[in-house]
Structure 1
Amino acid sequence: MDHPPITVWGRATSVNVMKVLWLLDELAIPFHRIDAGGEFGRTRDAEYAAMNPNATVPTLVMPHGYTLWESHAILRYLCRTQPGGNAFYAEAPEARADAERWMDWTLASMNEPMRVIFWTWVRTPAERRDLAAAETARVAAERLWRIADAALEGRDYIAGGFGLGDIALGGFLHRWFQLPIERPDLPRLRAWYDRLRERTPYRTHVAVPLS
């Protein structure tokens, strides 16, 4: 059986892979995913290194042979090249910049504290957990989620209409609400999370049990 034309290398439990699968599903684009990274290895194999020398996931492979790594670059590329993509990546300069600001903020600010919390509670055995570091990260993440909550005032989605800003942050949002940690009551953030969970691609690829 022939594979669908777009291939995504990366394990489904990676938050960065989730973003790409979510967008492909939103665009109704068929794809083939190959497990790589984590327990699956392969990212340091010569074949993979030729596509992505960083040994990270995801890596996108297009039918014409073009390969691309870095999840947010992949999101932008898909929106610019695939039918229907502009609906998720505004053409107007200010609207586009608004979405891109949240995409960059996800990587520059939110990524590290959420990584520490997630790895502590999900991927580290109880006897090896650094709970002090996890609490420091939780406090840092809470400050950031308060920023997002404030930005959602009068908005259904983080950059106005649903788009790449939501897809960039949505994986961390799910983890924030599912991790066994203390959380403040942030009604706008919760409403945004509930709104995303109404979307089938989000429930399929992102709002899944933590592992």
Structure 2
Amino acid sequence: MIQILGRPNSVNVQKVMWSAAEIGISVDRHDIGGAFGGNDTADYLSKNPNGRVPTLVDGDFILWESNAIVRYLSEAHGASPWFPDSLEERALCNQWMDWYISTLHPSMTVIFWQLIRTPDKDRDYAGLAAAIEEAGLFWAMLDKHLANHAFVVGDDLTMGDVPLGCAAYRWHSMEIARPDLPNLKRWWQSLAARDAYKQHVMLPLT
């Protein structure tokens, strides 16, 4: 059985676990990282020299980087529309997956760390406000795109929804002032109605 090494409250592990559940494959997840530790051992570092989670172990094959793992599982075990048949739609999935990491993830990370993992007295409120404003602009870009699409790529859920979908739960769950983005909210609510999303993404923020 495929092993996923990583703690359940990691947004990057959540990408992988949600994907596996949507695809319909069983994986064996191990608590590694964060409060569980274990990501700095020689054994773990031999698999993932970054010392981060998640790491996939599939027989003799080892893979790290969450988006790479999502793509691997989707291509190996998924079917259309989750892993689209057309080259163009797969490219669009990759576009949005990479856009999240390069563009939206940095500000979302600041918001999460400041609100969830930093004591109130130690927070950088100016930095937090700037990150919320920046993230809001990027979420508005997605909202505009979703005005003409049920999901990130077309009218069906695909692997392209995964990184943004995991982040959308945090965006809508943290106590911040959010702009009114009706298309984004509609899309997120459609994800929140899915059993796999509820099980693997909608977890307490810690």
- Contact 1:110/1:141, CA 8 A, preserved across alignment: yes
- Contact 2:104/2:135, CA 8 A, preserved across alignment: yes
Q: Which deviates more, 37-46 or 114-123?
A: 37-46
For residue 87 of structure 1, give the secondary structure of its aligned residue in structure 2. Answer: coil
| 1:158 matched to 2:117 | no
- Contact 1:22/1:202, CA 8 A, preserved across alignment: yes
- Give the aligned partner of residue 23 of structure 2: 27
Q: For structure 1, list consecutive stretches of 5 or more residues without a partner in the other structure.
A: none
Aligned length: 205
Amino acid at match of 1:177: H
- Give the aligned partner of residue 67 of structure 1: 62
- Give the aligned partner of residue 135 of structure 1: 129
Alignment equivalent of 2:181, drawn from 183, 186, 210: 186
Cα offset for 1:103? 0.3
- Give the aligned partner of residue 37 of structure 1: 33
Pairing of 1:101-180 with structure 2 (within 5 A): 101-160=95-154, 161-180=156-175
- Contact 1:80/1:86, CA 8 A, preserved across alignment: no
1:96-134 CA-to-partner distances (Å, cap 9, x unmatched) read 111111000011011110000011111111111111111
Cα offset for 1:186? 0.6
The TM-score, its normalising length taken from structure 1, stands at: 0.94
CA root-mean-square deviation: 1.0
Identity score, percent: 40
The TM-score, its normalising length taken from structure 2, stands at: 0.96
1:5-37 CA-to-partner distances (Å, cap 9, x unmatched) read 111000100000000000111122111111111
List structure 1 runs of 4+ shifted beyond 6 angstroms. Answer: none
Q: Distance in 2 between matches of 1:127 and 1:196?
A: 35
Amino acid at match of 1:164: M
Q: Distance in 2 between matches of 1:80 and 1:190?
A: 29
